[in-house]
Chain A
Amino acid sequence: MLRLVKILILSQFLFTLSSAQGQNECKSILSGQVLSLDGHRSVAFATVYFPQLQNGVLSDEEGHFSIALPCNRELEVSISQVEYDKKDVILSVGSKEDFKKNFYVKLKTNVLSSVTVHAHKREEGLKTNVSSVLNRKELIKLKGKSLSESVSTLPGVYNIKTGPGINKPMIHGLYGSRIQMVNNEVAQMGQQWGVDHAPEIDPFIASRITVVKGAAAIKYGPRAIGGALLLEPEPLEADSSLHGSLDLVGFTNGRGGVGSAMLSGSIFLNEGESINWRLQSSGKKSGDQHAANYNLTNTGSKEFNFSTAANYIKDDLQADIFFSRFSSEIGILRGAHIGNVDNFFEALNKRPPFFTEPFSYKINNPKQQVVHRLLKAKIHYDKEGLGDFDIIYGFQQNQRKEFDIRRGNRSDRAAVDLELSSHVAKALFHHDPIRGKLNGEFGLDYEFQNNVNIPGTGTIPLIPNYSSHQAGIFISEGWEEEDWSVEAGLRFDATAVDVLKFNNQNQLINPKHQYAMFSGIAGASYDISNDLKYKTNISWSQRAPSINELYSQGLHHSVAAIEEGNDQLDEETSLKWLHSFQYDREGKLKLNLDAYASRIQNYIYLQPEAPRLTIRGAFPVYYYKQTFAQIIGTDIIGSYEFFHQFTFNTKASLIRGTDITNEQPLIFMPSDRWENGLNWSVSKILGFEAIDFNLSGLKVFKQTRAPLTETEAYEQQSVPVPAGYFITNFSIDSTTKLKNSQLNIGFSIYNLMNTDYSDYLNRLRYYAAEAGRNFELRINYIF
């Protein structure tokens, strides 16, 4: 206080002195606000001090301040306040009569101010679990890409395609019902068992995407046996100004664009009390995409999404409500819709594919139409000295229609018409650290699903009508020391499924199933040195068979195969051991090595068997079987900074899956890949804050370990596995800082050399190549 008084007197004296000395000296009056970094709250009585002038000013109760400064100078500024970390910046003073600038300061971490920061806690998985994060800066460069395309840039994450419009993520060889997608803390409930069912999530909602690569079953339920994908929006906090963002992306391959807009604001009530809101919407329209040498007819898509969020914050209490609607229509390559095995081999060798036509925006059959609605309500309460409580409720409705090439005039009627409604309720208690080191949480989970086939399709349903209840309970605790930490977690789930369907004799039957599933995880992390950290965890998890594995029945047109479920399946049990080494030498040399091995008992997969003859010809039949599987692999990511501005990046992933029981490779495993890139970063040039140039080359090797079962099933000839390929990409990303806002402009060329290639993980690789060259322009404006 005394120091402040001294400064006040000093500043007054100097002011009079300088004004007495040079009435003609140029002065520029700086006015602004001192605000907190988190939530932009006004900081009262903060000191804004200029050591070179030996002059300063004190902000008022609202954080406002005003001071006269000499013109055309670069001045050091020091901003301090008792509750905040001291901040030093360089301020450029021009020659204008007055100018505005706000200063942002960071709250000291061990201070509990009256406005709590607990509510803004980010989702946290277990500390010893291995995860990769896409933060806001990285997401800006990926705007316009689907969710799966964005996360597959992370090592260990792969992208399963069904043609260019449908993308689904795979983590360490596992996908679909073995990965839990969590959208804004609510487990995504869609028909995720389908390989061609892309996640119905708008990536624009997220400001952070985390891929949890170890078994995440403890916190996210038995479906997370292979990992979890967490999407988090920006925490909705009290903010005195209106914020938002605008995104525009245009691309040549597909001649389409993506747009998104977001606006958020706050209504302040009393001290520490506020209502905060956010509106967001995004849309996409694209026509047929183009492979290197021909058009991919009927691969257009369109999407329209919107979401609204609001919350009420009062000291330690926060109540949230969130609603989102996702809707998309995706065309499926016309040339991929075939009949029997003979048709398949005809199409296999035909390039360009059958039915190739010139470019069009029209989306004809075959196509998918999906609408997904999510309603979330949450109450968060911080009990000082005890911990925080969360109660989360989510309601989702997923409507999926698939339109086929049908005979007669039936093409307007969906061949698959499913409606899945689900309720999830979660109660979490995260206790305050005991003795400052023991951190943990305890939770209860409940899930109800009801799946209905909407009548009127005129086809036998792919999966039956069913309802299921699932209840789970879990606990996880961790002990954290300076150099090391250990963690353990346990979870128990019970599921009951009730199915109503017609059997082969057209009688209505009501089979029921119950499953009990345990999960456990133990992990440790150790800081070997300042530069080297080690993490390891071993997890045990179980997964109940999903409805399609039990009861699927029908012909899948794009692979000319009949699929049959098996209602005798048992739970899968998986044991996974993960090691992670993280080396960081002063930010210049970074190397991350992850190695994992998992053994899955009763691993459920589709086994093709001898073709079945029908009046339409021969079709291979795929049965759901169980085997003892092993998946081992490694992900390496490294970067080396040289000459200050240049960074060399490398990323490699290897995975080996084995069907131990049948002594052969596991089907549908990604091949080895290695990506290298060179990044050149320049700052403060041509009016830009920063410009990044990036050139990268991705080498994907041929999958030499594809099992022979596919060949035997098709009998006639071997189905070739695509050759290895090499793709180059180039991009420029620029950042411009404007007054209170930021403009990011990016330009990219994907598949620079217009390479014609096919990827093993694309289920439509038999009919057409992957997308050719694509020019993309991204504009992102944040205010």
Chain B
Amino acid sequence: MKNTPIKILSYLLLLTVVVLFSQCKTEEPEPVLEEELITTLKMIFSPVDGGEDVVFILYDEDGNGPLEPKYTDDTLATDTKYNTSIIVRNDQDDEDITHEISEMGAEHQFFFQIADALNLSFEYADEDKNGDAIGLSTIFTTGAASNGSLAVVLRHEPNKSANGAAEGDLSNVGGETDIQATFEVVIE
């Protein structure tokens, strides 16, 4: 506001009416926890024949905020079979979301896209109440040394009977993406 006379006039005008309605105040908001926030995806590869777990992590500290999600990639051994499990968390409120996904299993599915250059294959190891895969538990098998990307996508309300869904292909499933991660995998 530039001119003082206008400022005075406007304040005078407001004063008369603010006095009348001075008891009406802005209501104090309640702090809100963004309940559906997912911050963390952890993919844990446990070798079937024993040995140390290999963990891949995607961590987005602030949800829709400007901070970019951070990846923690790791290395898989050649020619090994891994029991893989996925953990989903909301680390802003120290909450585990994995059980929510397994409880509403029919509404969720993890899809995996493996780069051609990467010698990696997988199969689903769990199922929802309708017999369709969820993807929280999978079995990954590595081949010869190679590297490439592994895309992991969690879809909410996908069409599990669409073409390719049972094989982990999300081209026709629709639904809403809740997690989209692209890990850089090295097999050596």
Spell out A's residues near B (CB within 8 Å).
335, 337-340, 342-343, 346-347, 350, 354-355, 405-410, 423, 446, 448, 450, 452-453, 455, 457-461, 464-467, 469, 471, 473, 492, 494, 496, 498-502, 504, 506, 508, 510, 514-516, 554-555, 557, 562, 612-617, 619
Q: How many angstroms from the CA of A251 to the CA of B64 in the assembled complex? A: 43
Q: CB-CB < 8 A to A471: which residues of B?
A: 13-14, 16-17
Bound CA–CA A628/B144 (angstroms):
60
Instruction: A340-B177, A465-B28, A516-B7 given; name 4 further pairs at CB < 8 Å.
Output: A343-B176, A458-B33, A615-B60, A616-B180
**Which residues of the partner chain B approach A555 to less than 8 Å between Cβ atoms?**
64
Query: CA of A459 to CA of B16 in the docked complex: distance in angstroms?
Result: 38
A615 touches B179 (CB 8 A): yes
In the bound assembly, the distance between CA atoms of A655 and B7 in angstroms comes to: 37
- Bound Cα distance A354, B165 (Å): 14
Closest to A497 in B: B26
Given the complex, which residues of A lie within 8 Å of B107, measured CB to CB? 407
- Select A465's contact among B26, B63, B69, B178, beta carbons within 8 Å: B26
Query: Can you name the residue of chain B whose Cβ is closest to the Cβ of A516?
Result: B10
B36 touches A406 (CB 8 A): yes
Q: Which residues of B contact A338 (CB under 8 A)?
A: 176
Query: What CA separation (Å) do A614 and B60 show in the bound complex?
Result: 6
B 14-35 binary contact with A (CB < 8 Å = 1; else 0): 1011100100111111111111
Complex A-B: 11 CB contacts under 8 Å? A406-B36, A408-B104, A410-B36, A455-B30, A469-B14, A492-B10, A494-B13, A502-B32, A508-B28, A510-B26, A557-B176
Residues of the A chain whose Cβ atoms lie less than 8 Å from the Cβ of B7: 516
Contact of B24 among A343, A448, A458, A473 (CB under 8 A): A448
Of chain B, the residue at the smallest CB distance from A467 is: B26
| Chain B: minimal CB distance from A340 (Å) | 5
- A407 and B159 contact, CB distance less than 8 A: no
B side interface size, CB within 8 A? 55
Contacts of B181 in A (CB 8 A): 615
A620 to B16, CA, bound (A): 45
Query: Given A408-B100, A465-B27, A516-B1, does the pair A460, B17 have CB atoms closer than 8 Å?
Result: no
Q: Is the CB of B14 within 8 A of A450?
A: no
Beta-carbon contact of A346 and B174 below 8 Å: yes
CA distance A494 to B1 in the complex (A): 11
Closest CB of chain A to B70's CB: distance in Å? Answer: 10
Across-interface contacts of B17 in A (CB, < 8 A):
446, 448, 469, 471
Nearest neighbor of B7 in chain A, beta-carbon distance = A516
- CB proximity of A423 to chain B, nearest CB, Å: 7
B134 at the interface (CB under 8 A from A): no
| Nearest-Cβ distance from residue B21 to partner chain A, whole angstroms | 5
In the complex, how many angstroms separate the beta carbon of B18 from the nearest chain A beta carbon? 6
A615 touching B26 by the CB < 8 A rule? no
B38: interface (CB < 8 Å): yes
Query: How long is the Cα–Cα vector from A409 to B101 in the complex, in angstroms?
Result: 11
| Contact yes or no, B36 A615, CB < 8 A | no
Residue in A337, A473, A516, A619 whose CB lies within 8 Å of B176: A337
Question: Ordered nearest first, which 8 A-B pairs have the shortest CB separation?
Answer: A354-B174, A494-B10, A339-B177, A458-B35, A617-B180, A615-B60, A339-B176, A467-B26
The chain B residues found within 8 Å of chain A, CB to CB, are 1, 6-7, 9-11, 13-14, 16-18, 21, 24-36, 38-41, 58-60, 63-66, 68-69, 100, 103-104, 107, 155-157, 159, 171, 174-181
A423-B21, A508-B28, A516-B6 in contact; A617/B177 too (CB < 8 A)?
yes
Q: Which residues of A contact B64 (CB under 8 A)?
A: 554-555, 562, 612, 614, 619
Q: Which residue in A473, A508, A557, A614 is a CB contact (below 8 Å) of B63?
A: A614
Choose from A340, A448, A499 the contact partner of B21 (Cβ within 8 Å): A448
- B contact residues around A500 at 8 Å (CB): 26-29
- The chain A residue with its CB closest to the CB of B2 is A516
Chain A residue at smallest Cβ distance from B154: A616
Tell me how many residue pairs across A and B have CB atoms closer than 8 Å: 156
CA distance in complex: A448, B21 (Å):
8
Give bound CA distance, A466 to B25, whole Å: 8
User: Within the complex, what minimum Cβ distance (angstroms) separates B151 from chain A?
Assistant: 10
A387 to B54, CA, bound (A): 86
Using CB atoms, name the residue of chain B closest to A409: B104
Contacts of A354 in B (CB 8 A): 159, 174-175
Min CB–CB distance B97 → chain A (angstroms): 8
Residues of chain B within 8 A of A465, CB atoms compared: 26-29
Least distance between A556 CB and chain B CB atoms (Å): 11
Residue of A nearest to B10 (CB): A494
Neighbouring B residues of A469 by C-beta, 8 Å: 14, 17-18, 21
Query: How far does the alpha carbon of A409 sit from the alpha carbon of B104 in the complex, in Å?
Result: 9
Question: Which residues of A sit under 8 angstroms from B26, Cβ to Cβ?
Answer: 450, 465-467, 498-500, 510
CB contacts (< 8 Å) of B11 on chain A: these are 494
* A459 proximity list for chain B (CB < 8 A): 32, 34-36
Establish whether residues B157 and A467, one from each chain, have CB atoms under 8 Å apart when the complex forms: no
Q: How far is the CB of A47 from chain B (nearest CB, A)?
A: 56
- A464 and B29 contacting across the interface, CB-CB below 8 Å: yes
Give the contacting residue for B174; candidates A355, A406, A448; CB below 8 A.
A355
B63 — which chain A residues lie within 8 A by C-beta?
614-615
Instruction: For A616, give its contact among B68, B159, B179 (CB under 8 Å).
Output: B179
Residue pair A342, B31 in contact (C-beta under 8 Å): no
Report chain B residues within 8 Å CB of A508. 28-29
Residue of B nearest to A354 (CB): B174
Which chain A residues lie closer than 8 Å to B100 at the CB level?
407-408
- Write the chain A residue with the least CB distance to B103: A408
- Cα A489 to Cα B35 in complex, Å, equals 52
Question: Contact at B180–A342, with CB atoms within 8 Å?
Answer: yes
Shortest distance from the beta carbon of A412 to any chain B beta carbon, whole Å: 13
For residue B7, give the distance in angstroms from its CB to the closest CB of chain A. Answer: 7
Tell me which residues across on chain B come within 8 A of A457, comparing CB atoms. 32
A21 to B112, CA, bound (A): 107
**Shortest Cβ distance from B113 into chain A, in angstroms?**
11
Decide if B180 touches A340 in the complex (CB within 8 Å). Answer: yes
Asked, given contacts A338-B176, A339-B178, A562-B64, whether A452 binds B13 with beta carbons under 8 Å apart, the answer is no
Q: Which residues of A contact B10 (CB under 8 A)?
A: 492, 494, 514, 516
From A408, which residue of chain B is reached at the shortest CB distance? B100
Asked if A502 and B176 make an inter-chain contact with CB atoms under 8 angstroms apart, the answer reads no
Across the interface, which residues of B come within 8 angstroms of A355, CB to CB?
157, 159, 174
- On chain B, the residues within 8 Å of A514 by CB distance are 1, 10
- A343: B residues at CB distance < 8 A: 174-177
Cβ–Cβ contact A494 & B14, under 8 A: yes
The residues of A that contact B175 with a CB separation of less than 8 Å are 339, 343, 354
How many angstroms between the C-alpha atoms of A355 and B155 in the bound complex?
Answer: 14
List the B residue with the shortest CB-CB distance to A619.
Answer: B64
Question: Within the assembled complex, what's the spacing in Å between the Cα atoms of A562 and B68?
Answer: 15
- CB of B177 within 8 A of CB of A410, answer no
- Assembled-state Cα–Cα distance A458/B35 (Å): 5
Q: Are B35 and A405 neighbours in the complex by a CB distance under 8 Å?
A: no
Q: A457-B32, A516-B1 are in contact. Are A407 and B174 (CB under 8 A)?
A: no
B39 to chain A, nearest CB (A): 7
CA A469 to CA B60, docked complex, whole Å = 40
A554 to B34, CA, bound (A): 11
CB <8 Å contact, B6 and A615: no
Which chain B residue shows the least CB distance to A501? Answer: B29
- Name which residue of chain B comes closest to A473, CB basis: B13
Q: In the complex the two chains form, what is the Cα distance from A54 to B39 in whole Å?
A: 96
Distance between B157 CB and nearest chain A CB, rounded to angstroms: 6
CA–CA, A310 to B30, complex, Å?
41
